[in-house]
């Protein structure tokens, strides 16, 4: 990359990060923070609103810098050799979540409750007095529906994040650092983007030892692991759509195991996907796919937007199809 191109990439990247973080932090600290102690759960706050911010920042940066929108990485590229990644994105997160929950309860058997004591207690606190069998039926029916529909139901909000993180941040970082460092750096950035919500108890709660630093660090680690998987889907398809579906599937299933506990578990251990034990399937898969990613010009070029030859490849992906299919087999 020539010096001028590198400087342009840096400017666009910094502008994207500035817009994304300033808008997110301003909304969360100015609007959500004053209210969070007044509600029973942070989930009662409109936290999903911030998920649109990264995508909005992408549009603003592309317009302000006259960068254009090609490649935008929103072409489905649903061709031979790519379909498998859509299936993995759709069903992979819930399957890994279930495996992680099973691992957790194999180790912490005493915390398993088929009567769903924790969830029934939460419902009672909210004024809904359900019998255990009714609560269990609700959870299982929601889980079945979520298994198949969560990627669609969560598509819009998750697109807001993924088009920013995988569709813009990752390609820009790749131009500057190479693919593998870019994946790690983008994961940490993604985790830090959650900082205000983490302080307010999102994912890890409040009052734990080392609050809130341990929660912030844990969130960065979690986002790095999940970011590796989402980045792999993005790189292998050249589209953000599989990572959007995977993000939606994960969000729809992340808390599944908590409903079957006596005490809600420990967010740092499990059975939520943020736990080190219940998150083992995700960690193992992330290590595998990260090892498979090759940090060579061929891989990185697919994410570059500055070099003319790379732009040409992005606009005419069929020229690389034979090579991609051979690699995907």
pLDDT digits (tens, 9 = 90+) for 125-154: 777 778 888 888 999 999 999 999 999 999
Greater pLDDT, 287 or 34: 287
Query: pLDDT, tens digit, for every residue of 40-71?
Result: 566 667 888 999 999 999 999 999 999 998 88
Tokens for 26, please give them.
């301003």
What is the pLDDT averaged over residues 220-227? 98
Helices (H) and strands (E) in the chain, counts: 15, 0
pLDDT band, very low/low/confident/very high, at 267 (cuts 50, 70, 90): very high
Are the C-beta atoms of 19 and 61 separated by less than 8 Å?
A: yes
Closest CA to 136 of 259, 262, 303: 259
Contact 249, 91 (CB under 8 A): yes
pLDDT-derived band at 294 (thresholds 50, 70, 90) equals low
Q: Which region, left, alpha or beta, applies to residue 193 given φ > 0 means left and ψ of -120 to 50 means alpha?
A: alpha
- Cα 38–Cα 40–Cα 46 angle in degrees, nearest 5: 75
Cα three-residue angle 65-67-71, rounded to 5 degrees: 155
Confidence of residue 38 (pLDDT cuts 50, 70, 90): low
Give pTM, 2 decimals: 0.89
Stretch 20-31: mean pLDDT: 95
Handedness of CA 192, 166, 29, 200 (dihedral sign): negative
Ordered by start, the domain boundaries in the chain are 3-328
Rounded CA separation 51/302 (Å)? 26
Average pLDDT value for residue range 15-19 = 98
Predicted confidence (pLDDT) at residue 319 exceeds the cutoff of 50: no
- Our measurement of the distance from residue 13's CA atom to the centroid of its chain's CA atoms, rounded to an integer in Å, reads 20
C-alpha to C-alpha distance for 70 and 52, rounded to whole angstroms: 20
Q: Mean pLDDT lowest for which of 102-111, 126-135, 272-281? A: 126-135
Token pair, residue 271, equals 């059975």
Cα–Cα distances in Å, from 315 out to 58, 73, 103, 234, 305? 19, 10, 44, 16, 10
- Which tokens go with 193? 């983007």
Q: How far apart are CA 20 and CA 190, in angstroms?
A: 11
Contact 236, 166 (CB under 8 A): no
In the Cβ-directed half-sphere of 312, how many Cα atoms lie within 13 Å?
A: 4
How many whole angstroms separate alpha carbon 63 and alpha carbon 19? 13
C-alpha to C-alpha distance for 48 and 78, rounded to whole angstroms: 28
Identify which has the larger pLDDT, 309 or 38: 38
DSSP letters along 92-132, please? HHHHHHHHHHHHHHHH-GGGB-TT-HHHHHHHHHTT----H
Asked if pLDDT for residue 328 goes beyond 60, the answer is no
């Amino acid at each position: 990359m020539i010096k001028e191109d590198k400087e342009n990439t840096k400017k666009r990247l910094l502008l994207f990060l500035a817009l994304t973080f300033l808008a997110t932090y301003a909304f969360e600290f100015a609007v959500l923070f004053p209210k969070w102690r007044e509600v029973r759960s942070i989930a009662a706050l409109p936290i999903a609103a911030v998920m649109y911010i990264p995508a909005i920042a992408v549009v603003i940066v592309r317009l302000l810098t006259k960068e254009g929108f090609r490649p935008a990485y929103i072409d489905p590229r649903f061709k031979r050799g790519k379909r498998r990644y859509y299936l993995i994105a759709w069903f992979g997160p819930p399957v890994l979540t279930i495996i992680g929950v099973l691992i957790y309860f194999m180790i912490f058997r005493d915390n398993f409750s088929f009567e769903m004591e924790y969830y029934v207690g939460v419902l009672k606190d909210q004024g809904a007095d359900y019998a255990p069998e009714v609560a269990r039926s609700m959870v299982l029916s929601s889980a079945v529906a979520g298994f198949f529909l969560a990627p669609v139901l969560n598509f819009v909000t998750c697109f807001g994040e993924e088009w920013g993180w995988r569709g813009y941040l990752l390609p820009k970082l790749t131009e500057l650092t190479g693919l593998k460092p870019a994946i790690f750096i983008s994961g940490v950035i993604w985790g830090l983007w959650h900082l205000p919500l983490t302080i307010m108890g999102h994912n890890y709660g409040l009052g734990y030892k080392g609050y809130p630093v341990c929660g912030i660090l844990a969130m960065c680690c979690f986002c790095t692991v999940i970011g590796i998987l989402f980045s792999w889907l993005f790189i292998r398809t050249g589209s953000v759509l599989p990572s959007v579906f995977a993000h939606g599937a994960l969000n729809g299933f992340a808390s599944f195991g908590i409903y079957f506990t006596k005490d809600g578990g420990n967010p740092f251990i499990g059975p939520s996907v943020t736990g080190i034990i219940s998150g083992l399937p995700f960690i193992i898969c992330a290590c595998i796919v990260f090892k498979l990613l090759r940090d060579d010009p061929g891989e990185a070029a697919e994410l570059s937007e500055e070099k003319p030859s790379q732009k040409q490849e992005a606009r005419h992906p069929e020229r690389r199809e034979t090579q991609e299919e051979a690699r995907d087999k």
